[in-house]
Structure formats: structure tokens, C-alpha cells
Amino acid sequence: VAGLTSGGTPIEISGAWFANKVEYGVVPTCKIGDKLVRARFISTVRIVCHAPPSDNIYSSVPIKVSLNGQDFIDTGKSFSYYE
């Protein structure tokens, strides 16, 4: 997956056991490189997050996900930025 350094590229992530229960602190979050972005909950098997802006031109950064904003799982995918 790749997108502009200005950010905003949607990144769809498929998995299992996604949840969105704000009242219990369960909020899907993506970590793109070292930046956290809140994901949009689509279903228990899909979330979407938007790439944040970055100065990392032509480099790949890992994509990780979390349901509590603290414990992240590496998706095995990366995101590359370009101008």
C-alpha cells in the first residue's frame, strides 16, 4: 500500500475479532510507522484507517493494529510514502 506524504490514503485491514466499544476503552487504532491514527470500525473482520502525513519519502513503514491503543499487532504489511 502506498500514498502521498500529505496523508489521507485509506488503508483497509482485514482480520478477525475487531470491536468498537468505546465505553469499555475498545477502539480500533492503527499505528503507521510511529504515528497513531484512529481506525473506522466497519465490521468484526474489517477496519479502515487513513495514513497520517509523513516526511518519510520513498520509505516503507510497518502497519500495526490495536483495540486498546497500547498493545499492537504487526499486520505484516507496510505503507510507502511518495510525493
| Residue range 25-67, pLDDT digits in tens | 899 999 999 999 999 999 999 999 999 999 888 889 999 999 9
Contact 76, 28 (CB under 8 A): no
Which of 10-14, 21-25, 52-56 holds the top average pLDDT?
10-14
Neighbours of 78 (CB within 10 A): 15
Please give the average per-residue pLDDT across 8-32, as a whole number. Answer: 93
Choose between 56 and 7: higher pLDDT: 7
Contact in structure between 11 and 78 (CB atoms under 8 Å): no
Residue with cell 492503527: 30
Give the pLDDT confidence of 72-82 residue by residue, as tens digits. 999 999 999 99
